[in-house]
Amino acid sequence: MPEKKLNDLFYDMLKDIYFAERQILKSLPKLAKAAHSEELRNAFLKHRDETEGQVERLQQIFEMLGKRAQGKTCEAINGILEEGQEIIEEYKGSEALDAGLLAGGQAVEHYEMARYGTLKNWATQLGMADAANLLDETLQEEKKTDALLTQLAQSEVNRKAA
């Protein structure tokens, strides 16, 4: 078996996050629809639009590698999104629903932040400065979204759930 290198790892993880982003794109409208708070609904919808741009950035990076954009099943994101779906079903009509949705949203953003942080560093190590910049743009969006969700969690939404 030929030795696998950092560029193989980079390509594999790119496929992982590409799969994840497309699952997230499908999931965000469901989270928005379920949210009671208008602020939370708007936050999910805004991030849905950002996510479309994130998918495009990943496609640009596949192109830089001369590869077709393709996803590889990420069981981690499937599990996180499934938990969100469970909350929607189990807390339907409850004042605590939004607090649960916020927690689910934050788990998604943290997974993404971990992946984009790693991918950005690997891109730099591999001498792919343009890819590193694109990955950093997305990383900043994920961080901003996480911060917004934290802010919402600390204010209105959780007070109502108490």
Which residues lie near Fe ion (CB under 5 A)? 16, 51, 54, 74, 76, 112, 142
Tell the smallest beta-carbon distance from residue 162 to Fe ion (Å): 27
Give the sign of the dihedral formed by CA 88, CA 94, CA 95, CA 96.
Answer: negative
Which one, 59 or 94, has the nearer CB to Fe ion?
A: 59
Tell the smallest beta-carbon distance from residue 94 to Fe ion (Å): 25
Tell the smallest beta-carbon distance from residue 95 to Fe ion (Å): 26
Tell the smallest beta-carbon distance from residue 91 to Fe ion (Å): 22
Give the H/E segment covering residue 3. Answer: none
Which one, 98 or 112, has the nearer CB to Fe ion?
A: 112
Residue given tokens 């990943």 in the structure block: 58
Picking from 1, 21, 11, 46, the residue whose alpha carbon sits closest to that of residue 123 is: 11
Picking from 117, 107, 119, 93, the residue whose alpha carbon sits closest to that of residue 146 is: 107
- The residue whose Cβ lies closest to Fe ion is 74
Which one, 98 or 141, has the nearer CB to Fe ion?
A: 141
Question: How many C-beta atoms surround the C-beta of residue 25 within 10 A?
Answer: 16
